[in-house]
Amino acid sequence: MPENTGAWLEDLTWPEAKARFDAGTVVVVPIGAAAKAHGPHLPLKTDALTARALGQHLVERLPVVVAPVVGFGFYPAFTAFAGSQHLSAATFKALLSELLGNLRSHGVKRIVLLNTGVSTETPIDELSGGADDLLILHMRGLGVTAERLIEVREGGHADERETSVMLALDPRSVRMDRLALDGPFERTGATGDPTRATAFKGERLLAARVDDIIAAIARRWG
């Protein structure tokens, strides 16, 4: 696999990984829940699928290495919803610290933590410590140029934005007959208005987020 193209870490052999690390390749670590409630209309895998898609777009556009998606995190608001998997903040931070330590011990000098969650933001930020080799990107700060497409700004979870992204990535997984929410977050596991979601909006949101990620990497390391 040519070293001037992007790659998923799992697809490389260890000598290929070492060569890229020794060359100073940026390593992206996507973080997205493998199983977390996203209302009655989106699958538990929504965050992980989004993280994987963003990683794939980066692989196609930059000579980066993208590590496997970290599918477990700090999601306290979802513990009451069946199937949602949650770690304490301390355990989540310990998990990420060890993963970062592994990469650093193998010679990785530039790491991007790409976070798709909200409750995970504070524990992740606490890991930084001003490290020069670490760039933290949170989803809420990405893709703002596409926000003009969003008709109902209120929400934030399994809303018009996330539902649009899932319609773009995996439309069969969206339960279209359950888009109209029948109660508050405590009952549905969602906020906002997913009925206005479209695949077009999702495609534009993803594209804008990828552009912002690439721009942030360029600003940090050129």
| Rounded mean pLDDT, 117-131 | 92
Given a cut of 70, whether residue 190 has pLDDT beyond it is: yes
- Answer for the pair 178, 41: CB distance below 8 angstroms, yes or no: yes
| Rounded mean pLDDT, 51-78 | 98
Residue 127 burial class via C-beta count within 10 angstroms: exposed 0-12, middle 13-18, buried 19 and up: middle
Model pLDDT, residue 89: 98
Model pLDDT, residue 131: 86
| Rounded mean pLDDT, 49-70 | 98
Share of the chain above pLDDT 90, in %: 92
| Rounded mean pLDDT, 7-13 | 98
DSSP state, 180?
Answer: S
The per-residue DSSP string of 68-108 comes to PPB-----GGGTTSTT-----HHHHHHHHHHHHHHHHHTT-
Per-residue pLDDT band at 221 (split at 50, 70, 90)? very high
Model pLDDT, residue 129: 77
Interval 166-188: pLDDT, tens: 999 999 999 999 999 988 999 99
CA distance 1 to 130: 34
Interval 28-53: pLDDT, tens: 999 999 999 999 999 999 999 999 99
User: 31 Cβ partners below 8 Å, 6+ apart?
Assistant: 51, 69, 70, 73, 96, 113, 114, 115, 116, 117, 120, 124
Given a cut of 70, whether residue 1 has pLDDT beyond it is: no
CA distance 96 to 108: 15
| Rounded mean pLDDT, 188-212 | 97
Looking at every residue in the chain, the average pLDDT score rounds to: 96
| Rounded mean pLDDT, 84-110 | 98
DSSP state, 137?
Answer: E
CA distance 8 to 20: 12
Token reading at 110: 């530039």
Specify the pTM: 0.95
Residue with the bigger pLDDT between 127 and 32: it is: 32
Given a cut of 80, whether residue 130 has pLDDT beyond it is: no
Helix (H, G, I), strand (E, B) or coil at 33: coil
| Rounded mean pLDDT, 193-222 | 97
Interval 141-156: pLDDT, tens: 999 999 999 998 888 8
